[in-house]
Structure 1
Amino acid sequence: MATTDTELSAVMDAVRDIVPRLRDNGRETEDRRWIPDENVELLDKAGVFRLAVPRRFGGLDVSLADQVAVLTEIGRGCPSTGWVSMVWVSSAWLATLYPDEAQSEVFASGSVKISGGFTPTGTVTATDGGYVLNGSWRFNSGCRGADWNIASAIRELPDGTSDEVVAIVPMAEFTVVDDWYTSAAAGTGSCTSTAKGVFVPAHRVVSYEDAVLNTTAGRTAPETPGRRYGLFTYVTAAAVATCIGIAKGALELFLQRVKGRGITYTSWTDQSQHPLTQIQVATAANKISAAEGLQAGWLRQLQTRADAGEQPTDEEKATVRGQSAYAIQLAKEAVEILYSASGATAIQRDVPIQRFHRDIQGLSLHGLLLLSTNLEVHGRVLLGLDPDTPLL
């Protein structure tokens, strides 16, 4: 049974209602280097952590476009909370790539928070009934409040070769090191998580290839058609939502401050009356709209493929990577314009726009979202060359 418009509207309305509270908690989020319990509880109550969970487990099982709409709203309220929510929601979808037995365990509560990543800085060694996991994973956003953790690792094969696998493990099995001290996205709590001799049942380990191609065996077909997206196109699309939300939030914050605010050492008593300010606001707003326009195109394309039961082609995946990074660049440029137009008082920590500015600067440097890397992949495809990356 598909999610009803009423169910989705209820989530959207609830999230919009809590955006001011998320924004009010921004300073505390940064100071404690982790999102407040209140933020998590409000989002959980709103149904955010059920968005990507299959309906047979009590989830909402909404489309990627609907997930993006909700995540954008959260980013509008608090960049760090938006980023962590994106990680938890998208990782819940990733859990649907595992066999049914694993899904029954992961989704037992219906609402679930899952952290993790794709850097294979661990190893798995075969043992009776599964594997032993060892390793450490840095920049693990959301691990401080996650229920489960996805860990990429290298598996040694009997013939002496190796491949990459992705294990899903209860977060309680990891040790989290409090080492997240940053100038951007400070509230994401992206600490290092470590596993030492952790047993992982075989059904909770899938090959990297199966995860990327969505070919894991032992899975029930989705109750709602059109939910088997391409892995990296799905993840990047979700990340763009947070960044567009940050830009939208920065625009709102600027507009709230600018009217009646004078320009120091000039005769202007209302900055909003200055032509340069008007040009800056319009430029920022149009950059945000342009980013949304790119986003709408790839969301349609990805959903069309998923509805047809197909994976995107490599060319389409490379295009999504390039356009996603460019959309983030546009969102970042919008925030830069607004921050620069905010005057010296904006450097005060109690003025939220400086945090939005720093956070989008940091998030845009994420390896999977980096403009130069993604434009290279996209450009190679446009030139008729091989994408030259497995991260498609």
Structure 2
Amino acid sequence: MKRQNPLLEELKKVLPEIAKNADKTEDLRKVPDENIEILKKVGLHKAFLPKAYGGYEISLPEFGDCIAALAGACCSTAWAFSLLCTHNHQIAMFPKQLQDEVWKENPDAMASSSIAPFGKYEETDGGIIFNGDMKWSSGCDHAQWAIVGFLRDNAEGAKDYCFAVIPESDYRIEDDWYSMAMKGSGTKTLNIKNAFVPEHRIQKAKDMMEGKSAGYGLYPDSKLFYSPYRPYFASGFAAMALGTAERMLEVYKEVTSNRVRAYTGAKVHAAIPAILRTGESTHQILAARAFLEKTWEEHAVYAEAHRYPDRYTLAHWRTNQAYAVKMCIEAVDRMFNAIGANNWLLDKEAQRIFRDCHMCGAHAYTDYDVCAQIIGREVMGLEPDPSLL
């Protein structure tokens, strides 16, 4: 049974305003301040915020539907804001001391991230000294904190993949986001130099995947925080691909319905190729939504039961969303290839949707070449390949 989603109903009321700002968002190369304020008034930033700080703690299916709808209006805004939201889920796995630092005085505070473990560090009393030019920090212009990745030596002589949480006072944003797609996501670089990070702001990624982090069990009545961080962190990528594909279907129908062949005057919408493309794309997008909804609902059921997934289940969660993105991109390509040369012009919505949907499939987590290997090895009973994230 479909979950009720009052947050989605409130969000739908402001989507026309977000859509009007889509060109401005691309021109600014970041999400406009007014978009952030609109979405905060709706309360979307509270989706994964603990109730202890005034959050909603909505389920992943509810959140996925919201992000898909937002992406249909402006995918750049959805990309940045989705990550700002999902980072709350990750921060809730840190110690209470860190959570109080982030949210006690400002429950609207948000964090961007650069989680690839490229940061450099030195051990010091009570924590580490962190340095790095941390790239790909979407939405950082609107964040008060940053979650950054690094590899830390452990007592066994190996390295632990870790996250450090750093306040905005300890980094500088480098305005270097010039991209072909997702132009307005503001995915810039954080320049961090000699930032002291105390131990309570550091957690191991592995612990966050296995219910062993310092924040585990802080909210015993929660139906959200008994779950691994990574599927929630990555949930928006597939939701955005779905939202852009659903919007492309609407645009394609509208454009094609009014289109005539330039040299013959023939109407396009009743032609067999247009009908075939519409039909197959419709089925593919519906299949992607059904597949994602089933996967999201499974996430929610596990979280509500305070149950962590086994390796086989986690492999499916890890890879299902990438296959859904693949289907959405195929559907978008099928329609865009036949929508007409006029829609390559930069003032046309279709070309923006085409670019942004492809970007949804370019993230390391949605790389289907990687995901096909992960699920293939799991189904064949082989050990996981550590070179595959």
Q: Give the TM-score range, shorter chain.
A: over 0.9
How far does the alpha carbon of each residue in 1:99-148 deviate from its partner, in whole angstroms, 9 at most, with x for none? 11111122232223221133111133332332221112111211122121
Unaligned runs of 5+ residues in structure 2 are: none
Q: 1:364 maps to which residue?
A: 361
Q: 1:321 to 1:36 in 2, by over 3 A?
A: same
TM-score (normalizing by structure 2): 0.93
Query: How far off its partner does 1:333 sit?
Result: 1.1
How far apart, in 1, do the equivalents of 2:231 and 2:276 lie? 34
The Cα offsets for residues 285-332 of structure 1, whole Å up to 9 and x where unpaired, read as 111111112112212222222222221111111112222111001111
| Counterpart pick for 1:319 among 316, 319, 333 | 316
Aligned twin of 1:79: 75
Q: What is the CA-CA distance between 1:25 and the residue it aligns to?
A: 1.4
In the TM superposition, what is the alpha-carbon distance from 1:161 to its structure 2 partner? 4.7
Match of 2:231 among 213, 227, 233: 233
Distance (Å, rounded) in 1 between the aligned partners of 2:81 and 2:281: 25
Match of 1:242 in 2: 240
Q: Offset at 1:17? A: 1.8
In structure 1, the partner of 2:294 is 297
What CA distance in whole angstroms lies between the structure 2 residues aligned with 1:40 and 1:34?
11
Match of 2:207 in 1: 210
Letter in 2 for 1:266: T
TM-score relative to the length of structure 1: 0.93
- Number of paired residues? 385
**Structure 1 equivalent of residue 258 of structure 2:** 260
- Distance in 2 between the 1:222 and 1:169 partners? 27
- CA gap of 1:226–1:94, structure 2 versus 1, over 3 A, is closer
State the shift of 1:27 in Å.
1.4
Instruction: Tell me, yes or no, if structure 1 residue 124 matches structure 2 residue 127.
Output: no
In the alignment, structure 1 residue 335 sits paired with structure 2 residue 325: no
Report the CA distance between 1:20 and its aligned residue: 1.9
Query: Which residue is equivalent to 1:44?
Result: 40
Hey, what's the Cα distance between the residues in 2 that align with 1:61 and 1:257? 40
Distance 2:339 2:38 in 1: 31
2:13 aligns to what? 17
Pair 1:167–1:347, CA change in 2 (3 A)? same
Q: Say yes or no: does 1:57 pair with 2:53.
A: yes
Matched, 1:171 2:168: yes
Hey, what does 1:100 align to over in structure 2? 96
| C-alpha contact (below 8 Å) 1:140/1:193 kept by paired residues | yes
Moved more, 116-125 or 47-56: 116-125
Would you say the 8 A contact 1:153–1:166 is kept in 2?
yes
Q: Distance in 2 between matches of 1:222 and 1:390?
A: 35
Identical-residue share of aligned pairs (%): 27
1:225 shift after superposition? 2.8
Where do 4+ consecutive residues of structure 1 move more than 4 Å? 157-161
Aligned letter for 2:49? V
Shift of 1:218: 5.1
Corresponding letter in the other structure for 1:75 = A
Instruction: Please say if residues 124 and 156 of structure 1, whose CA atoms lie closer than 8 Å, have aligned partners that are also in contact.
Output: no
Report what 2:375 is aligned to: 378
**Residues 156 and 334 (structure 1 numbering): CA distance in 2 closer, same or farther, change over 3 Å?**
same
CA distance in 2 between partners of 1:205 and 1:328 (Å): 32
Counterpart amino acid of 1:193?
L
Q: Supply the AA of the counterpart residue of 2:43.
A: G
